[in-house]
Chains A and B, each alone.
Chain A
Amino acid sequence: MAWFIAKRAVALALTLVAASLVVFGVLEVLPGDPALLILGVNAREDTLAALRESMGLDQPAHWRYLAWIGGLLTGQLADSLTYDVPVTELLVPRIAVSLPLALMALTLTVALALPLGVLAAARRGRAADGAIMGASQLGIAVPNFWLGILLILLFAVTLRWLPSGGFPGWEAGVGPALAALIMPAVALALPQAAILARVTRSSVLEVLGEDYMRTARAKGLSQGEALWHHGLRNALIPVVTIMGLQFSFLLAGTIIIENVFNLPGIGRLIFQAIGQRDIVVVRDLVVLLAAMVGVVNVLVDLSYAVLDPRLRRGHLRGAHG
């Protein structure tokens, strides 16, 4: 187990190095001179040169790359080009918006998809199955940002129950903060729940046909009992795999959903930073997001071992391809 974790940690580190190289390389070719961006087009050439020197822009690319990585590792992030404060100061208040949002969305996704998927599988071919699968077909086809607009239309414009956008801050109290996050979370969650419900259904159907389930039923357990005691654990492995993928969709989804609802989160920050050519913010955020996705993938791999003891010995990588 320890060996497995060590191997996965090394793989994660290598992926992050590759990701940071890609981001750094891409931003190198991005047109636009950061010094010119800060000082404006009317700046004198010698002022520009002085600023480039103080920002280290006159150094060769590989030195700047190493300096950046060194800063990331020691937590000393460079100053944002547009906000003129260290990126850390920008990040903390925005993570306080985006992380709760992503977690709420993930919780909603699972809370909706698992029961509905299991129900659809247990009632295969009957009305409940048809209704759930029909709804999930529809859910998959709905763009999350349009769903967000529809929710605003219903709950903010027509019913006036919820604010149409913006974030009051956690200091305004948990109630108002959650009220501002609930619609974005639902908009993010429903399309993902639709996908997860289908995966859950087919995974449970697969398990229902297994020999050990037939044995459990022959012992006199009802289908529900057999599923609960023997089936669900096994059915969960593909479900957890998809959940891991969905977390990265949810994170990326914040880029668009935070724009719909005017939320001051990570997604909106990265979108604005790209628009403003603030490469310092962009590269830090991209690596941060890639790291979060990577950590979640490692957790997913570890959860296989928790769910299925057979996978604890050696074959963890092979277990899911």
Chain B
Amino acid sequence: MVETPTPTAQTMGGRRLAATAWAGGAVAALVLLTALVSLVWTPHDPAAMDVANKLSDPTGAHPLGTDHFGRDVLSRLMVGARVSIAVSLVAVGLGAGIGVPLGLLASARHGWIDEAVMRFNDLAFAFPALLTAVLITAVLGPGAVNAILAIGIFNIPVFARVARGAALSLWTRPFIQAARLAGRGRTRISVEHILPNIAGALIVQGTIQFALAILAEAGLSYLGLGSQPPEVSWGRMLNEAQTFLFLDPRLAILPGLAIVVTVLGLNLLGDGLRDRLDPRLDTRRADGGR
């Protein structure tokens, strides 16, 4: 069968995507809300131990049961969401905050600045990201702040590349050339005209990077390099649960589910946003997947 997209297939495809994006956004919002709620209320004190009641199955008082110290799992998952989101959000913000200006600068001024930014990018991509993160947290010591730095550093070249790529094509457009002719400086054009026009691409990339950061934070915490006790994180909960795998698998399943649901929600949202915001993909879809 030759691929011949019919209008119905088109609209159906469009509607289905939008629905999954909505669902993803709703899930991500729910996780964010849970994290915010945990600032003021959790069912129990997440650090309160009750050794007599350890590894308890879900009950009315503990909807998701208790861990090996008798601490309430639901409360710990809620507080863990806070750490995961805070670390990832700040790390992605750091990456975008440095990467986007670098990318804009590289696209505005060709020549050695562009070359230097791109070579820095190549070097950053030459190292496996996780290895660099492990090295950084080893040098600076484990902890949430250093996990933010370690994750933020890989986000710099990603955002620099996306910003530069999106901005480069804009510089040849008539409205930018008009601004140039009107005597606007390159910096001012970058801020006033280029940035708003590449915001869509940056938001899409930001959503995807946010999901990747959640995974990275969980990995670092699992290795014991992320946030330290008494702070709670999903990765560390998994690490602790592995010891009790034979006794109580529930402890190893729940934090992992929390990570998967959050990342899945963000990815669905990011994909949906990309379809809406990236005009190139629209034309691709319109002419039969080219």
Contacts and interface: CB of A to CB of B under 8 A. Distances in A.
A26 B252 CA distance: 35
A188 B267 CA distance: 20
A275 B137 CA distance: 10
Contacts of B3: 124, 205, 208-209
A143 B259 contact: yes
A278 to B, nearest CB: 11
A140 interface: yes
A205 B290 CA distance: 7
Given A153-B245, A157-B249, A255 B134 contact: yes
Given A19-B126, A137-B267, A141-B260, A29 B249 contact: no
Interface residues of A, number: 50
Interface in B93-142: 122-123, 126-131, 134-135, 138-139
A50 interface: no
Contact of B246 (A30, A157, A208, A286): A157
Given A149-B252, A153-B249, A274-B138, A255 B267 contact: no
B43 interface: no
A316 to B, nearest CB: 16
Q: From A141, A274, A289, name the one whose CB has the most chain B CB atoms within 10 angstroms.
A: A141
A286 B245 contact: no
B245 A145 contact: no
Interface stretch (A56-64, A173-181, A245-253, A305-313): A245-253
B260 A146 contact: yes
B245 A209 contact: no
A271 B264 contact: no
A117 interface: no
A18 B139 contact: no
Interface string B251-286: 011001001110110011000000000000000000
Nearest to A201: B289
A145 B219 contact: yes
Q: From A15, A30, A208, A256, name the one whose CB has the most chain B CB atoms within 10 angstroms.
A: A256
Q: From B5, B128, B241, name the one whose CB has the most chain A CB atoms within 10 angstroms.
A: B128
Contacts of A318: none
A290 B256 contact: no
Contacts, number: 129
A40 interface: no
A293 interface: yes
Contact of B256 (A23, A149, A210, A270): A149
B128 A249 contact: yes
On chain B, which size bracket covers the interface? 35 or more
A209 B267 contact: no
A299 B78 CA distance: 46
Interface string B218-250: 110011000000000000001001100110010
B288 interface: yes
A15 B138 contact: no
A143 B259 CA distance: 8
B131 A217 contact: no
Contact of B264 (A26, A141, A150, A248): A141
Interface of B: 1-3, 5, 9, 13, 122-123, 126-131, 134-135, 138-139, 211, 215, 218-219, 222-223, 238, 241-242, 245-246, 249, 252-253, 256, 259-261, 263-264, 267-268, 287-290
6 contacts: A19-B126, A141-B260, A141-B263, A205-B290, A259-B223, A270-B131
Q: Which 10 A-B pairs have the closest CB atoms?
A: A252-B128, A146-B256, A209-B290, A205-B289, A252-B130, A141-B263, A141-B264, A274-B138, A248-B128, A141-B260
